[in-house]
């Protein structure tokens, strides 16, 4: 069900789905499903999900610390791209914003994005 929220059209509705993902209406373990749905639905959704994650990194760190839910959130937000520029941006973001426990996941995403 949460994945389908990314199939809506329009940036405003996609943004609302992302905001919903971190609300009390979604269990913490399901937030990444909403984000992944948005990021995999379209290139606009991928861009919005990545921007959303970057702008709320501190909130994600507080919610998920270093656990598997943080890995899921990173993977959900940073996938959906397929070019060297995006790979460089993802790599630089995590180099500038060290996040314990996500290094391997980020490396895999960057490799797949290139």
Domain that holds residue 41: 2-113
Give yes or no for residue 2 having a pLDDT over 80: no
What was the pLDDT predicted at 17? 93
Distance CA 14, CA 51 (A): 12
Residue 3: predicted pLDDT: 67
Q: Is the pLDDT higher at 18 or at 66?
A: 18
Give the count of alpha carbons within 13 A of 15, CB side only.
5
Q: Are 39 and 80 in contact (CB under 8 A)?
A: yes
State if pTM tops 0.75: yes
N residues, the chain? 114
Helices 103-113, 68-78: inter-axial angle, 10-degree rounding: 20
Number of domains in the chain: 1
* Rounded Cα distance, 50 and 70, in Å: 14
Residue 53 vs residue 3, higher pLDDT: 53
Express each pLDDT in 40-98 by its tens digit: 988 999 999 999 999 999 999 999 988 899 999 999 999 889 999 999 999 999 999 99
pLDDT above 80 for 6:
no
- 99-111 confidence digits (pLDDT tens): 999 999 999 999 9
Tell me the mean pLDDT in the region 3-32.
88
């Amino acid at each position: 069900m949460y994945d389908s929220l990314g199939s809506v059209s329009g940036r405003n509705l996609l943004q609302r789905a992302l905001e919903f993902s971190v609300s009390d209406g979604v269990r913490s373990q399901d937030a990444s499903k909403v984000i992944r749905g948005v990021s995999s639905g379209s290139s606009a959704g991928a861009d919005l999900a990545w921007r959303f994650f970057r702008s709320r990194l501190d909130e994600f760190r507080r919610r998920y610390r270093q656990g598997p839910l943080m890995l899921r959130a990173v993977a959900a937000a940073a996938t959906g791209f397929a070019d060297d520029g995006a790979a460089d941006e993802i790599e630089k973001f995590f180099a500038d914003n060290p996040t314990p426990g996500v290094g391997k996941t980020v490396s895999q995403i960057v490799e797949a994005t290139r």
